[in-house]
Amino acid sequence: MHFSQVQASPLLANPAFTGMFNGNLRVMTNYRSQWESDYSYGNYKSTNISLDAKIRMLDQGNLSGGFSIYTDRSGSAAGFSENHFKFSGAYHLLLNNKNVFASFGTELGLSQKSLNQNNTEFASQFNGLGFDSNLNSGESIIREGVNNVDFSVGAVFHQNKNSRKYSFIGVAFYHLSQQDVSLTGRTIEGIPMKVNIQMGHTFKLAKNADLIPSFYGQWQSILWQINTGMFYRHLFEFSKKGTAFKAISLGSFVRLTKSLNGGMKAESAIAVLKLDYDNFTAGLSYDLQLSPLVENLGRSSAFELSFAYTTAWGHPYANRGGSINCPRF
């Protein structure tokens, strides 16, 4: 469960990103289809819809709130599915007069996982010629669904000269409640805590050209995953006051994961196209899967779409200290 366009789903990366945008309200949506084929096995479809907004302006910052609805389906018949409902809040504080800010966020999540055994196939049900649903799966699944409550916190430190020029570094801690998510009904250890780290910076190459490297890593138990790479952004129109932002960005990224022998392997190469037109942002990405697993399955790609809309660039409190200039990811 992940999106390659991490910058297009900030509330899933760190709750402290809630409300970190120029405007009143932001709506974002993401769709990912992975390992598409003529067969139902292994196909993954993920969808996310999020909304966040400024709630209260303060003299040296603001309070923001938001929510996300995230779904993940495995197989064309959705044999296994996950639904997540997340509510987040963040406090953004101006640290000094050089546009250095600290943002602190928290998140409460409600999760539902379910398995439809009528739409699943197991290796033990292969009779030598094909799948036989009359054969016992050998699996001790006694719960077809499990619900749990999750809790997360995060922080981001960022310096923003304007929406074009910024630097940031953040960390978030997920699954602090470590609840049981097993479908077997047995008592097991809670889901391990996950740590997310984010970093990014913009380099101005010319009047209308930028390089934007970024790093998004996550660690959970003995597993880890890193998305890193760079955007080249060409600006057609830009206003430091945030009244105009028209640009096209081309990005190249790689997803690194832990290999079976404990080393590092490149799982995917990712190409991204992003368009900014004032209040609107749209992204399209393509993953070229490098893992030998998908070569055996005959599927080696994934694609994503993302859209975002932000309300008026300014807000009623634009002349107060609570108006924080935010990066445009």
How high is the pLDDT of residue 111? 87
The mean per-residue pLDDT over the stretch 117-141 comes to 66
Nearest CA among 221, 262, 329, 296 for reference residue 42: 296
- Residue 2: the pLDDT is 77
Give the span between the Cα atoms of 327 and 131, in whole angstroms.
Answer: 52
Q: What is the DSSP letter of 3?
A: -
Of the candidates 187, 258, 186, 188, which has an alpha carbon nearest to the alpha carbon of residue 221?
258
Contact at 8 Å (CB) between 237 and 163? no
pLDDT: is 38 or 239 the higher one? 239
- In one-letter notation, the amino acid at residue 57 is M
* pLDDT tens by residue, 151-195: 999 999 999 887 788 999 999 999 998 777 766 666 566 788 999
Q: Are 40 and 14 in contact (CB under 8 A)?
A: no
What are the CA-CA distances from residue 99 to residues 96, 105, 106, 202, 320 (Å)?
6, 19, 23, 15, 14
Cα 66 to Cα 152: distance, rounded to the nearest angstrom: 14
* 190 token code pair: 């809670």
Query: Looking at the predicted structure, is the pLDDT value of residue 136 above 50?
Result: yes
Q: What is the pLDDT of residues 35-92, one digit of tens each?
A: 765 455 557 889 999 999 999 888 788 899 999 999 988 765 556 788 999 999 999 9
* pLDDT per position as a tens digit, 270-293: 999 999 998 999 999 999 888 766
Instruction: Give the residue among 260, 258, 210 at the shortest CA–CA distance from 230.
Output: 210
- pLDDT over 90 for what percent of the chain? 48
Which of 159-185 are b and which e, b meaning 16 or more Cβ less than 10 Å from the residue's Cβ?
bbebbbbbebebbbbbbeeeeebbbee
- DSSP notation for 32-55: EEES--SSSTT-EEEEEEEEEEEE
Q: Is the pLDDT of residue 132 over 80?
A: no
pLDDT confidence tier of residue 315, bands split at 50, 70 and 90: very low
Rounded Cα distance between 127 and 132, Å, is: 6
Decide if pLDDT at 324 tops 80: no
Q: What is the pTM of this model?
A: 0.86
Say which residue, 328 or 137, is predicted with more confidence: 328
For domain 6-310, the CATH architecture is Beta Barrel (2.40)
Average pLDDT across the chain, whole number: 83
Per-residue model confidence (pLDDT) at position 58 = 81
